[in-house]
Structure 1
Amino acid sequence: MNATPQPMTAQLRQWILEQAAAGRPAPELIDAMQRSGWREEVAVNAVQQVLRQQLEQTAEQQGLPPASAVPEPALAGAPLFIDLGDRQVSVLMNLARPRVVLFGNLLAPEECQALIDAARPRLARSLTVATATGGEEINADRTSNGMFFQRGESPLVQRLEQRIARLLNWPLENGEGLQVLHYRPGAQYKPHYDYFDPQEPGTASILRRGGQRVATLVMYLNDPLQGGGTTFPEAFLEIGPRQGNAVFFSYERPHPSTGTLHGGAPVIAGEKWIATKWLRQGEFK
C-alpha cells in the first residue's frame, strides 16, 4: 500500500478481504492502514465499504433477506463526545459487528426520574409482539412491567425523542412510542431479537405500521444494586445498567446473521428501570 491516502483500488480491496479472512478484526486493519499513511477516516470508510459489500454478497448467496438502511450515529473520526445541542453525550464503546454503541450521559438524572414518575401509575405486565397473529401476548420469557408513551405525548417525551433522532440520524416519525419497563428482583427478558420474523404469518400486518424494526436504543433510568445488564450472548458482551447511559444496536436485516441476539439479565438486587426506543424503516403509525 502507498504511504499516502489514495482512492479504493482492486489491490486494496483484495488486501482487506484477505486480512479479514485470516481473522484480523476491522480495528487492526484500520490501524495497519494508518501506519502506512492513510488518514483515519479514509481507512475506516474503506474497510467498512469492502466488508459491507462482502457481507452483502455472502448474504445474497445464502438467500438471506435483503439489507435495509439503518440508523447510524455520527462516529466518523472516533469522537469522544457528540454535541446534541441541548446535551453533550459521551461515546463509551463502539462495536462494529454486531453494531453496538454505548453512550453516556444521554439523559439527566431528573429526566430519568421524571420518566419513572410518569410511567409508574400506568404499568402493567409487559407484553411481546405476537408475530403469529400480529397482536400482543404475555410471554414467560419477559417478566417485567411496562407501558408506552404516545409519541410526543408530553414536553419531556418530545424533548427526548428529538434528542434521540438527532443522536441516531433517523427521522423522529420513524420511531415507535417510548416504552418504560420496570424489573423487580428476579425479573428478566431472556435473549431474543427485536426484528419481526418475516416467516411468521402475522408479520405482514405488523409491518404495515412502519416497516421492519431496524434498531433499538435502551436507556437506563436508574442503577440497580446488582444484575440487570443488557447481554449480547453471541458477542460475549454485557452492558452494565448505569443511570443516564444508553446502549444502541442496529440490525440491517431481519435475520440472526446480524448478531443482535440480546436479553435483559435477571435483576439480583434492587430494581431496574429502562426506557426503550425502537426505530422502524419508515414512518410509524
Structure 2
Amino acid sequence: MEKITHISVELRDWIVNTMKTGASPEAIANAMIKKGFDPIFAYRTLLKLVNNTPVEVLAREQQPYIYEIPEIGQKGNIIATSDRDIKVLMRVEKPFILYLENLLSEEECDELIALSKNRLKPSRVVDTATGEIKTVPGRTSSGTYYRLSETPLVATIEKRIEELTNFPIENGEGLQVLHYKVGEEYKPHFDYYPASKINENTGGQRIATVLIYLNDVPQGGETIFPKAGVSITPKKGAAAFFHYGNSKGQVDRMSLHSSIPVLKGEKWVATKWLRQSEILERS
C-alpha cells in the first residue's frame, strides 16, 4: 500500500497545538507512521513544525468553514428556561460565541465548588496522536468529572443546559469541574477531536462547549480566543457557549482558545461538552 505523503490543514493545526501542550514530536511522528504515513515524510513534517517552518497542506482541505446558527443563537437576548431567565451579554459570529449571564446562581456555584474540592486530581488531556490520556505541561489545573445526574445539583444544571441549548442531556459528556491556582493555565487548544479519534458510540464529534464560571477572579484567568481577538472575563454564574461543528462535518479552527494564567486569587469553572449524537458508551 502506498504511504501517505501529505497532511491536511486540520491535522497540521492539531499537531502544532498538541506539541504546545507538551506532547513529544517523536511520539506524534510514530503515531503518524502507524496510521500509514511515510516515515521520512512524518519526521520531516514534525521537524519543520518544531522549527516553525511552513508545511505544505492539501489545497482541497482548505475549504472555508460554513457557519450555521445553532438553536441557542435563535432564541433572542433573554432565554427562558423552566427555572430562570438567562441573558445574552455578548455575541460573536465567527467563531460563534455567546456570553451568558445567570446560568447558575451564586448558591449553586458555591455548592458545586464545595462538592468538588475533595475529589480534584491533576487535569489530563487526550493525546490526539496516540489516544493516550495523560498530564501535560500545557494544562496545569486540577479537576473532577461527574456522572450524568450524579447529584441533584448536577442533574439540575444538566437539565438547564438542555433547555438552554436544545441539546439532549444524552448528548452531553459528564460535567467537569476545574480549579486553577495562581500561575495555572490551559494553553491554546481545540475542544473538538481529529477525524481519526471520532467514535459514533461515544456521541461522535464534539460540536459545542458550555463553560461556566463558578467564581470571580481578581486578576487573570480570562478565556481567550486568539484567532478572533476575543477575551472573556470570568464572572460568577456566567457562562461562555461556543459552537464549532456544523451539519456538514466541518470543524471551526477559529474556535482555538486558552485559559490564561490566574494572576491573583483562584479560578473555578465547570465545563459541559456537547456531542453531535447520543453517547451510548460512557467510561
Residue equivalent to 1:143: 140
Other structure's SS at 2:148 match: coil
Residue 158 of structure 2 is aligned to residue 157 of structure 1 = no
Equivalent pairs counted in the alignment come to 220
Aligned residue runs from structure 1 range 8-19, under 5 A? none
Q: Does structure 2 conserve the Cα–Cα contact (< 8 Å) formed by 1:144 and 1:184?
A: yes
Distance in 2 separating the partners of 1:194 and 1:247: 13
Shift of 1:226: 0.5
1:75: how far off?
3.1
Q: What is the Cα deviation at residue 68 of structure 1?
A: 10
C-alpha change, 1:239 and 1:105, in structure 2 (3 Å) is same
Q: Indicate which of 270, 274, 278 corresponds to 2:269.
A: 274
Please report the TM-score for the alignment, with normalisation by the length of structure 1: 0.72
2:226 counterpart (224, 228, 233): 233
Please identify runs of 4+ aligned residues in structure 1 that moved more than 6 A.
Answer: 65-70
Give 1:256 deviation, angstroms.
6.7
- The equivalent of 1:41 in structure 2 is none
| Contact in 2 for aligned 1:190/1:263 (Cα 8 Å) | yes
Per-residue deviation, 1:108: 0.2
Q: Which residue of 2 aligns with 1:223?
A: 216
Residue 174 of structure 1 is aligned with which of 171, 174, 185? 171
Q: How far is 1:252 from its partner?
A: 1.6
> Could you say what secondary structure the match of 1:73 adopts?
helix
CA shift digits 1:178-214 (9 cap, x unpaired): 0000000000001110011125xxx14x553110100
> Which amino acid counterpart does residue 233 of structure 1 have in structure 2?
P
Q: Call closer, same or farther: CA 1:106–1:243 in 2, change over 3 Å.
A: same
The Cα shift of 1:135 comes to: 3.6
* Separation of aligned partners in 1, 2:61 and 2:175: 35
| Structure 2 SS opposite 1:160 | helix
2:127 corresponds to which letter in structure 1? A
Q: 2: CA distance between counterparts of 1:237 and 1:67?
A: 20
In structure 2, which of residues 115, 118, 121 is the aligned counterpart of residue 118 of structure 1? 115
How far apart, CA to CA, are the structure 1 residues paired with 2:65 and 2:257? 22
Report the Cα offset of residue 269 of structure 1: 0.3
Q: 1:171 to 1:220 in 2, by over 3 A?
A: same
RMSD after superposition: 2.3
Following superposition, the deviation at residue 283 of structure 1 comes to 1.2
**Conserved? CA contact 2:206–2:245, under 8 Å:** no
Give the conservation status (yes or no) of the 8 Å contact 1:71–1:170.
no
- In 1: Cα distance, 2:173 partner to 2:67 partner: 18
- Which structure's CA Rg is the greater one? 1
Per-residue displacement from partner, 1:31-64 (whole Å, max 9, x unpaired)?
xxxxxxxxxxxxxxxxxxxxxxxxxxxxx96465
Deviation at 1:139, TM superposition (A): 1.5
The answer to whether the 8 A contact 2:211-2:272 is kept is yes
1:245-260 alignment runs, 5 A limit? 245-252=238-245, 257-260=252-255
Q: Aligned residue for 2:35?
A: none
User: What is the identity percentage for the equivalent residue pairs of Structure 1 and Structure 2?
Assistant: 45
Distance 2:67 2:101 in 1: 27
Give the secondary structure class of the aligned counterpart of 2:203: coil
Q: What TM-score comes out, normalization by structure 2 length?
A: 0.72
